[in-house]
Structure 1
């Protein structure tokens, strides 16, 4: 957010007054810098947005320069803001860790950890890995949804951890690659016999022109990606069935609805027991990376680090 008067200077700015900087203002500044939004920072700090605005204005007057420029969505830090964040982040984070241990009732159980991600990956990968931690006292509140929306909610403090198939941009979130999803072209055994895999190998996508396609969206994102990566052509067909959950897509295909593309982790059991058949085994199948994403700074939940490590360890065994 910009606070310049008509000649481009910061209103009220002058020589920097003596004395140290206000820790609360610095804490608020760091929250805005990391979240990219005054609104998100207010939610994270449990302050009103006018309070956040007032504190940032006061800090700018004290420093004598602007810290944030307004964008259509959120704010962008100035060069001076980036320099300030680099200097204060580590000391403030260390102080938050110390202060956080004394501010709560040690006898009270921690609040549930708020975890979010795509329903299919949570079902197949995340919840099986975290279920044993419930006996250790971990409590979870799980939400599903599209990646972009969940990442925005993570920035604003509504989640503690997000599994995302989209890598977040910028420095407002920390992302670690967790697992590579391999996509496979599958059908039921009956459709596999009718398609003839040797014909599919010779003719490519043209061998599938008359086969019903099943997808989780009318845009066929996974199928389009597979067609482009493996066959080198653009998919123009309309789906026969759409189900907004890949588990539903798999159920339809297992029962003979047609052909689809699924992450291997989701359909491996069906492939192993013969309910599904892989139609092609390309040398370089299309893949997509899933990331574990959190806000920077000290962990806001006592079980966050443990859950993070548990998921990384489980992914290494996949």
Structure 2
């Protein structure tokens, strides 16, 4: 899954029409923008822009990508508040999500807001438990791996997680390459699994999506943290399916091996979920009072978080 930084840079290039203009908008150097674009194109495996003296022209793939991500990136910017004027923030935002994506993606992105006075309280847990807390007004935002079914909640797609089937090099060498190409599930059937949960939630989805049935492999280890799953795979405990953003550094370092190359890797949509209506208010320990206001987008009764701002 490409990082939000790469997608945000891509969108600025697409809208500005040139690398230099995008760099100016982002407040970074042109080589930095060029480097981020190159990384994104490498991850996607396709050229996104045709360069010329007049700037850049988006390819059809770029147009499709911009159409898919622009609404979500703009919505996330609105939800987190524009930093252009750098206003002082006051109040508390209670946000929940899975420990892995919160630790590696969400909290680093939100960290600058704490320097402007916002107080963040993060909660880790399973998606359904966190959505229940959101519905009960114990959280304000949830980054959820499942779409909420509560009538009082509303969610917008945030980003798609792409899953990769990986294993340690020592195990990969035991798999017959020809059989792996023609009958991958059979070729991998003897290899032990490192799972995120007893019901093999991610592995089950991968096997059903790509092979048409549940995995029949023996299970070597179950641990409810994808970072621990990765560490166990690196140590040789077994094979597993992991999000690209988590697996990619270890793949690049040769600590794990990609075992299967589907035409389109399985995806899981991550949602940003909030309560419909209402005006949650939680005072920050550092201020007397605060509030978070949700604004309707004007499209019928549907509401989404257009902006989060905090007032005294």
Q: TM-score, normalised by structure 1?
A: 0.59
- SS of the aligned residue for 1:250 comes to helix
Match of 2:118 in 1: 138
Match of 1:239 in 2: 219
Partner Cα separation in structure 2 for residue 245 and residue 285 of structure 1? 21
2:174 corresponds to 1:194: yes
Alignment partner of 1:117 out of 79, 97, 102? 97
Match of 2:265 in 1: 285
Q: Is the 8 A contact 2:95 2:122 kept in 1?
A: yes
Equivalenced residue count is: 203
Match of 1:72 in 2: none
Partner Cα separation in structure 2 for residue 157 and residue 233 of structure 1? 39
Partner Cα separation in structure 1 for residue 121 and residue 136 of structure 2? 17
Alignment partner of 2:197 out of 210, 217, 231? 217
Q: What's the CA shift for 1:253? A: 0.2
Name the structure with the higher helix share: 1
Deviations 1:228-258 (A, max 9, x none): 1111233233411111111111100011111
Q: What's the CA shift for 1:139? A: 1.5
Match of 2:159 in 1: 179
Partner Cα separation in structure 2 for residue 167 and residue 192 of structure 1? 35
Match of 2:302 in 1: none
Partner Cα separation in structure 2 for residue 164 and residue 292 of structure 1? 6
Equivalent runs, 1:1-318 vs 2, <5 Å: 110-297=90-277, 300=280, 302=291
Deviations 1:103-130 (A, max 9, x none): xxxxx98443111011111112111211
Deviations 1:270-304 (A, max 9, x none): 11222121111101221110100111226535567
Q: TM-score, normalised by structure 2?
A: 0.60
State the Cα RMSD in Å.
2.5
Structure number with bigger Rg = 1
Partner Cα separation in structure 2 for residue 299 and residue 195 of structure 1? 56
Partner Cα separation in structure 1 for residue 235 and residue 217 of structure 2? 21
Gap runs ≥5 in structure 1: 1-107, 312-318
